[in-house]
């Protein structure tokens, strides 16, 4: 194997950074475009309920993910052995899946409590159950 030159490494790094930046910009634009669409279609009351459910999802997701995304990036980036990369990735995916299932079960079991304390209406507990499935995905 021949070693890559320094300029090829920099070009590869710049290309990878530009891919990540492009995806983050696209996601930000889609989230920005989502706001007027939801406010027009849902109305003020349903949009407020949707916002509360979205905040619940945003607050519960870090507990489900356990911040392992950055861990994978830092630890597996320098790894060259495909078997070790596969093993590390699958162990992180299974750990995040197990934590996500746990957080979703907690949200389902406590949906009445969360609906009454967050939304202010116990009849909206079905929305918290829906949020629990969104956290899992």
User: Is residue 105 a part of any domain in this protein?
Assistant: yes
Q: What is the per-residue pLDDT for 54? A: 81
User: Is residue 89 a part of any domain in this protein?
Assistant: yes
| CA atoms within 13 Å, Cβ hemisphere of 129 | 8
User: Is residue 25 a part of any domain in this protein?
Assistant: no
User: Is residue 103 a part of any domain in this protein?
Assistant: yes
Cα distance between residue 73 and residue 9, in whole Å? 18
User: Is residue 15 a part of any domain in this protein?
Assistant: no
The token pair that represents 90 in the structure block? 């699958």
Percent of the chain as helix, strand, coil, to the nearest 5: 90, 0, 10
Whether the predicted pLDDT of 5 surpasses 80: no
pLDDT in tens, 42-60: 787 778 878 877 887 788 7
User: Is residue 101 a part of any domain in this protein?
Assistant: yes
Whether the predicted pLDDT of 4 surpasses 70: no
Expressed as residue numbers, the domain containing 119 is 43-136
pLDDT in tens, 64-97: 777 777 777 787 777 788 888 888 888 888 988 8
Average pLDDT score over residue span 28-48: 81
User: Is residue 120 a part of any domain in this protein?
Assistant: yes
Whether the predicted pLDDT of 25 surpasses 90: yes
Residue in the block written with tokens 């997701």: 61
Average pLDDT, the chain: 82
Structurally, how many domains does the chain consist of?
Answer: 1
User: Is residue 1 a part of any domain in this protein?
Assistant: no
């Amino acid at each position: 194997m021949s070693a890559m030159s320094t300029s090829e490494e920099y070009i590869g790094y710049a290309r990878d950074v530009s891919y990540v930046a492009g995806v983050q910009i696209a996601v930000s634009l889609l989230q920005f475009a989502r706001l007027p669409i939801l406010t027009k279609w849902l109305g003020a009351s349903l949009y407020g309920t949707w916002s509360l459910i979205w905040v619940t999802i945003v607050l519960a997701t870090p507990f489900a993910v356990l911040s392992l995304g950055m861990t994978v990036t830092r630890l597996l980036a320098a790894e060259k052995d495909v078997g070790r990369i596969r093993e590390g990735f699958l162990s992180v995916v299974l750990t995040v899946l197990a934590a996500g299932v746990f957080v979703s079960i907690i949200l389902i079991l406590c949906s009445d409590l969360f609906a009454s304390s967050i939304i202010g209406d116990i009849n909206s507990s079905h929305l918290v159950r829906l949020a629990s499935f969104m956290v899992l995905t």
